[in-house]
Homo-oligomer: A and B are copies of this chain.
Amino acid sequence: MSYCVGISTKYGLAFMSDTRTNAGLDDLSQFKKLFTWGRSDDRLFTLLSAGNLATTQAVVSEIDQDFKSKKSQLHRCKSMFEVAEFVGQKLSQKVKQHSENGINGESTFQANLILGGQIKGSKPSLFLIYPEGNFIEATEDTPFFQIGEIKYGRPILVRAYRRDLSMKDIFKLLIVSFDSTLKANLTVGFPLDFQIYFTDTIKSGVEGRLNANDPYFVDVSNAWSRGLEDLLLRLPGLTLSEEVNKQKE
Protein backbone atom coordinates (compact mmCIF):
# COMPACT_ATOMS: atom_id res chain seq x y z
CA MET A 1 0.00 0.00 0.00
CA SER A 2 0.86 3.66 -0.26
CA TYR A 3 -0.75 6.87 0.80
CA CYS A 4 -0.75 9.97 -1.42
CA VAL A 5 -2.80 13.17 -1.30
CA GLY A 6 -3.16 15.97 -3.81
CA ILE A 7 -5.03 19.12 -2.73
CA SER A 8 -6.24 22.07 -4.73
CA THR A 9 -6.68 25.41 -2.94
CA LYS A 10 -7.20 29.07 -3.66
CA TYR A 11 -3.42 29.55 -3.67
CA GLY A 12 -2.27 26.54 -5.65
CA LEU A 13 -1.68 22.82 -5.29
CA ALA A 14 -0.12 20.71 -2.55
CA PHE A 15 1.11 17.12 -2.81
CA MET A 16 2.33 14.59 -0.27
CA SER A 17 3.24 10.90 -0.55
CA ASP A 18 4.78 8.22 1.59
CA THR A 19 7.63 6.08 0.22
CA ARG A 20 6.88 2.56 1.39
CA THR A 21 6.28 -0.29 -1.00
CA ASN A 22 5.53 -3.76 0.22
CA ALA A 23 5.08 -7.17 -1.28
CA GLY A 24 3.77 -9.00 1.73
CA LEU A 25 4.57 -7.96 5.28
CA ASP A 26 8.22 -8.96 5.24
CA ASP A 27 9.26 -7.43 1.94
CA LEU A 28 9.32 -3.67 2.48
CA SER A 29 11.18 -1.26 0.24
CA GLN A 30 11.46 2.46 -0.18
CA PHE A 31 10.48 4.08 -3.47
CA LYS A 32 9.74 7.63 -4.44
CA LYS A 33 6.12 8.14 -5.49
CA LEU A 34 6.19 11.87 -6.19
CA PHE A 35 7.54 12.97 -9.57
CA THR A 36 7.80 16.34 -11.28
CA TRP A 37 8.39 17.43 -14.86
CA GLY A 38 8.70 21.04 -15.83
CA ARG A 39 9.70 23.53 -18.48
CA SER A 40 10.38 26.77 -16.71
CA ASP A 41 8.66 28.99 -19.24
CA ASP A 42 5.24 27.40 -19.44
CA ARG A 43 4.46 24.09 -17.74
CA LEU A 44 4.88 22.06 -14.55
CA PHE A 45 3.40 18.59 -13.87
CA THR A 46 3.46 16.62 -10.64
CA LEU A 47 2.48 12.96 -10.36
CA LEU A 48 1.67 10.83 -7.30
CA SER A 49 1.37 7.05 -7.66
CA ALA A 50 -0.14 4.18 -5.68
CA GLY A 51 -0.52 0.57 -6.71
CA ASN A 52 1.63 -1.90 -8.59
CA LEU A 53 5.17 -0.53 -8.57
CA ALA A 54 6.20 -2.08 -11.87
CA THR A 55 3.21 -0.40 -13.51
CA THR A 56 3.81 3.04 -12.01
CA GLN A 57 7.55 2.93 -12.72
CA ALA A 58 6.81 2.03 -16.33
CA VAL A 59 4.39 4.95 -16.64
CA VAL A 60 6.91 7.35 -15.09
CA SER A 61 9.55 6.07 -17.54
CA GLU A 62 7.27 6.69 -20.50
CA ILE A 63 6.56 10.23 -19.31
CA ASP A 64 10.28 10.79 -18.77
CA GLN A 65 11.12 9.59 -22.26
CA ASP A 66 8.42 11.68 -23.86
CA PHE A 67 9.39 14.78 -21.93
CA LYS A 68 13.02 14.46 -23.03
CA SER A 69 12.32 13.68 -26.68
CA LYS A 70 12.31 16.24 -29.46
CA LYS A 71 8.87 15.16 -30.62
CA SER A 72 7.46 15.33 -27.08
CA GLN A 73 3.67 15.20 -26.89
CA LEU A 74 3.74 16.56 -23.36
CA HIS A 75 5.52 19.70 -24.54
CA ARG A 76 2.78 20.29 -27.08
CA CYS A 77 -0.21 19.70 -24.79
CA LYS A 78 -2.31 22.86 -24.66
CA SER A 79 -4.13 22.00 -21.42
CA MET A 80 -3.74 19.88 -18.32
CA PHE A 81 -6.69 17.87 -19.64
CA GLU A 82 -4.54 16.73 -22.56
CA VAL A 83 -1.71 15.87 -20.17
CA ALA A 84 -4.10 13.76 -18.10
CA GLU A 85 -5.25 11.99 -21.27
CA PHE A 86 -1.64 11.21 -22.20
CA VAL A 87 -0.82 9.87 -18.71
CA GLY A 88 -4.10 7.93 -18.49
CA GLN A 89 -3.39 6.28 -21.81
CA LYS A 90 0.09 5.21 -20.72
CA LEU A 91 -1.31 3.86 -17.46
CA SER A 92 -4.04 1.74 -19.04
CA GLN A 93 -1.60 0.46 -21.68
CA LYS A 94 0.84 -0.70 -19.00
CA VAL A 95 -1.87 -2.36 -16.90
CA LYS A 96 -3.16 -4.18 -19.98
CA GLN A 97 0.29 -5.15 -21.23
CA HIS A 98 1.42 -6.59 -17.88
CA SER A 99 -1.76 -8.55 -17.34
CA GLU A 100 -1.64 -10.06 -20.84
CA ASN A 101 1.82 -11.38 -20.09
CA GLY A 102 0.84 -12.99 -16.82
CA ILE A 103 -1.56 -15.57 -15.54
CA ASN A 104 -3.32 -13.17 -13.18
CA GLY A 105 -6.17 -10.80 -13.83
CA GLU A 106 -5.75 -7.09 -14.38
CA SER A 107 -6.29 -6.15 -10.77
CA THR A 108 -2.81 -7.26 -9.72
CA PHE A 109 -1.19 -4.78 -12.05
CA GLN A 110 -3.46 -1.84 -11.37
CA ALA A 111 -2.40 1.54 -10.10
CA ASN A 112 -4.00 4.91 -9.42
CA LEU A 113 -2.39 8.25 -10.10
CA ILE A 114 -2.91 11.83 -8.99
CA LEU A 115 -1.78 14.37 -11.55
CA GLY A 116 -1.56 18.08 -10.87
CA GLY A 117 0.05 21.06 -12.49
CA GLN A 118 -0.39 24.13 -14.60
CA ILE A 119 0.17 25.19 -18.19
CA LYS A 120 0.68 28.91 -18.61
CA GLY A 121 -2.52 30.68 -19.59
CA SER A 122 -4.85 28.25 -17.83
CA LYS A 123 -5.60 27.54 -14.18
CA PRO A 124 -3.82 24.88 -12.10
CA SER A 125 -5.63 21.54 -12.35
CA LEU A 126 -5.71 18.34 -10.32
CA PHE A 127 -6.79 14.93 -11.64
CA LEU A 128 -7.39 11.46 -10.26
CA ILE A 129 -6.48 8.89 -12.93
CA TYR A 130 -7.92 5.37 -12.74
CA PRO A 131 -6.20 2.16 -13.91
CA GLU A 132 -8.53 2.14 -16.93
CA GLY A 133 -6.99 5.43 -18.04
CA ASN A 134 -10.07 7.55 -17.46
CA PHE A 135 -9.93 10.37 -14.93
CA ILE A 136 -11.83 12.96 -12.94
CA GLU A 137 -10.86 16.54 -12.15
CA ALA A 138 -10.94 18.21 -8.75
CA THR A 139 -13.60 20.88 -8.28
CA GLU A 140 -14.59 23.19 -5.45
CA ASP A 141 -16.92 20.45 -4.21
CA THR A 142 -14.21 17.78 -4.33
CA PRO A 143 -10.99 19.72 -3.92
CA PHE A 144 -8.66 16.87 -2.95
CA PHE A 145 -7.85 13.33 -4.03
CA GLN A 146 -6.36 10.51 -2.02
CA ILE A 147 -4.96 7.24 -3.36
CA GLY A 148 -3.74 4.09 -1.60
CA GLU A 149 -4.54 3.60 2.07
CA ILE A 150 -7.01 6.49 2.20
CA LYS A 151 -9.37 5.83 5.08
CA TYR A 152 -7.41 6.66 8.23
CA GLY A 153 -6.38 10.09 7.00
CA ARG A 154 -9.69 11.05 5.43
CA PRO A 155 -11.80 12.32 8.38
CA ILE A 156 -9.45 15.21 9.16
CA LEU A 157 -9.31 16.26 5.48
CA VAL A 158 -13.10 16.19 5.27
CA ARG A 159 -13.50 18.24 8.44
CA ALA A 160 -10.75 20.80 8.31
CA TYR A 161 -10.18 21.56 4.61
CA ARG A 162 -11.19 25.01 3.48
CA ARG A 163 -10.36 26.39 0.06
CA ASP A 164 -8.94 29.58 1.54
CA LEU A 165 -6.58 27.94 4.02
CA SER A 166 -3.05 29.25 3.64
CA MET A 167 -0.48 26.85 2.22
CA LYS A 168 1.09 26.82 5.67
CA ASP A 169 -2.15 25.44 7.11
CA ILE A 170 -2.67 23.05 4.20
CA PHE A 171 0.80 21.70 4.89
CA LYS A 172 -0.17 21.08 8.53
CA LEU A 173 -3.37 19.40 7.36
CA LEU A 174 -1.37 17.04 5.15
CA ILE A 175 1.01 16.21 7.97
CA VAL A 176 -1.85 15.42 10.34
CA SER A 177 -3.59 13.26 7.73
CA PHE A 178 -0.37 11.33 7.09
CA ASP A 179 0.45 11.04 10.77
CA SER A 180 -2.99 9.50 11.46
CA THR A 181 -2.33 6.96 8.72
CA LEU A 182 1.25 6.19 9.75
CA LYS A 183 0.13 5.55 13.34
CA ALA A 184 -2.49 3.02 12.21
CA ASN A 185 -1.08 1.14 9.22
CA LEU A 186 2.25 -0.58 8.68
CA THR A 187 2.08 -0.44 4.88
CA VAL A 188 2.45 3.35 4.87
CA GLY A 189 5.89 4.54 5.94
CA PHE A 190 8.43 7.32 6.24
CA PRO A 191 10.00 9.33 4.71
CA LEU A 192 7.27 11.56 3.27
CA ASP A 193 7.82 13.54 0.08
CA PHE A 194 5.99 16.81 -0.43
CA GLN A 195 5.66 19.60 -2.93
CA ILE A 196 3.78 22.87 -2.75
CA TYR A 197 2.93 24.73 -5.91
CA PHE A 198 1.83 28.37 -5.89
CA THR A 199 -0.51 29.34 -8.73
CA ASP A 200 1.08 31.01 -11.78
CA THR A 201 4.67 30.50 -10.60
CA ILE A 202 5.20 27.58 -13.04
CA LYS A 203 7.85 26.17 -10.76
CA SER A 204 7.99 23.99 -7.67
CA GLY A 205 7.41 26.27 -4.67
CA VAL A 206 8.56 24.29 -1.67
CA GLU A 207 9.54 20.66 -1.84
CA GLY A 208 11.34 18.23 0.36
CA ARG A 209 11.36 15.05 2.35
CA LEU A 210 10.29 14.53 5.97
CA ASN A 211 11.80 11.75 8.06
CA ALA A 212 10.24 10.16 11.14
CA ASN A 213 12.56 12.17 13.37
CA ASP A 214 12.14 15.48 11.51
CA PRO A 215 11.79 18.02 14.35
CA TYR A 216 8.93 19.87 12.65
CA PHE A 217 6.98 16.67 11.99
CA VAL A 218 7.51 15.50 15.58
CA ASP A 219 6.38 18.92 16.88
CA VAL A 220 3.20 18.87 14.83
CA SER A 221 2.44 15.25 15.69
CA ASN A 222 2.88 15.83 19.42
CA ALA A 223 0.95 19.09 19.42
CA TRP A 224 -1.86 17.35 17.53
CA SER A 225 -2.00 14.44 20.01
CA ARG A 226 -2.04 16.77 23.00
CA GLY A 227 -4.58 19.03 21.31
CA LEU A 228 -6.94 16.15 20.50
CA GLU A 229 -6.84 14.85 24.07
CA ASP A 230 -7.54 18.36 25.35
CA LEU A 231 -10.32 18.90 22.85
CA LEU A 232 -11.96 15.61 23.80
CA LEU A 233 -12.01 16.52 27.48
CA ARG A 234 -13.50 19.94 26.69
CA LEU A 235 -16.36 18.53 24.57
CA PRO A 236 -19.83 18.78 26.12
CA GLY A 237 -20.40 15.76 28.35
CA LEU A 238 -23.53 13.84 29.23
CA THR A 239 -23.91 13.42 32.96
CA LEU A 240 -23.87 9.66 32.78
CA SER A 241 -23.45 9.11 36.49
CA GLU A 242 -26.62 11.06 37.24
CA GLU A 243 -28.57 8.96 34.78
CA VAL A 244 -27.19 5.86 36.40
CA ASN A 245 -28.28 7.18 39.76
CA LYS A 246 -31.73 7.86 38.38
CA GLN A 247 -31.93 4.30 37.16
CA LYS A 248 -30.95 3.04 40.58
CA GLU A 249 -33.81 4.91 42.26
Contact = CB atoms under 8 A, between A and B. Distances in A.
Contact of A237 (B151, B169, B183): B169
Contact of A158 (B184, B224, B237): B184
Given A232-B173, A235-B220, A206 B158 contact: no
A249 to B, nearest CB: 14
A196 interface: yes
A195 to B, nearest CB: 11
Interface string A152-176: 1111101110100001110111001
Given A151-B152, A159-B183, A232-B169, A206 B237 contact: no
A236 B181 CA distance: 20
Nearest to A162: B229
Question: Considering the complex of A and B, which 6 residue pairs feature the smallest CB-CB distances, nearest first?
Answer: A151-B151, A155-B180, A227-B231, A168-B237, A172-B235, A219-B236
A238 interface: yes
A105 interface: no
A103 interface: no
A61 interface: no
Nearest to A14: B240
Most buried by B among A168, A180, A231, A235: A235
Given A152-B151, A155-B155, A198-B244, A236 B220 contact: yes
Contacts of A171: 237-238, 240
8 contacts: A152-B154, A154-B184, A155-B156, A159-B228, A162-B229, A168-B239, A169-B233, A172-B237
A216 interface: yes
A214 to B, nearest CB: 11
Interface in A206-246: 206, 216, 219-220, 223-225, 227-229, 231-241, 243-244
A155 B168 contact: no
B225 A228 contact: no
A158 B184 CA distance: 8
Interface in A20-47: none
B244 A205 contact: yes
A238 B152 contact: no
A171 B237 CA distance: 8
